[in-house]
């Protein structure tokens, strides 16, 4: 399995935000600068996180983005799926024999294992302090 660049940027940005004191609104350009992420790309990454309820977007001179919940309440699975959609095995095996069915079962089990592992990891564990 490979995370998309968008998911990687989202995890880095949120881990950075979670490491800051006070959960104050953070302008996107400061997050982008701190994490070495192109700001235009970061803005596209932050929008689905707002829609998913992971971030809040606050307008105005003191606005920016802030975590909508405690970092302990946000899972890696939630972040990745907000950006890339549901994690699922995209492999479909063709054939009339039982091999295709067995392979689909194996890939489905692997998929569920990844989802369980990502659900266990909390943003608070990824925050750099």
Give the pLDDT score at 35.
95
Report the C-alpha gap between 46 and 54 in whole angstroms. Answer: 9
Is there a contact between 79 and 11 (Cβ–Cβ < 8 Å)? Answer: yes
Please name each of the domains of the chain with its CATH number.
5-126 (1.10.10.10)
Give the pLDDT score at 75.
97
Give the pLDDT score at 44.
95
Paired tokens of 44: 């596209």
Higher pLDDT, 46 or 21: 46
Give the pLDDT score at 23.
86
Question: What does the pLDDT look like over 78-122, one tens digit per residue?
Answer: 999 999 998 876 666 676 678 877 888 888 898 899 999 999 999
Residue 1: band (very low, low, confident or very high) from pLDDT cuts 50, 70, 90: low
- Return the DSSP state at 26: B
- pLDDT of 58 higher than 90: yes
Going by C-alpha positions, the residue among 79, 84, 58 that lies closest to residue 16 is 79
Higher pLDDT, 23 or 16: 16
Give the pLDDT score at 89.
65
* Alpha carbon of residue 78 to chain centroid: 6
């Amino acid at each position: 399995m490979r995370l998309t660049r968008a998911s990687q940027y989202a995890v880095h940005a949120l881990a950075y935000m979670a490491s800051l004191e006070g959960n104050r609104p953070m302008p996107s350009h400061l997050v982008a600068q701190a994490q070495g992420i192109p700001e235009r790309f970061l803005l596209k990454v932050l929008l689905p996180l707002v829609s998913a309820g992971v971030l809040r977007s606050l307008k105005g001179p003191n606005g920016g983005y802030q975590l909508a919940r405690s970092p302990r309440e946000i899972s890696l699975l939630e972040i990745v799926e907000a950006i890339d959609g549901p994690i699922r095995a995209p492999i479909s095996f063709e054939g009339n024999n039982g091999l295709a069915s067995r392979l689909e079962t194996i890939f489905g089990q692997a998929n569920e294992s990844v989802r369980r592992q990502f659900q266990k990891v909390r943003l608070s564990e990824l925050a750099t302090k």
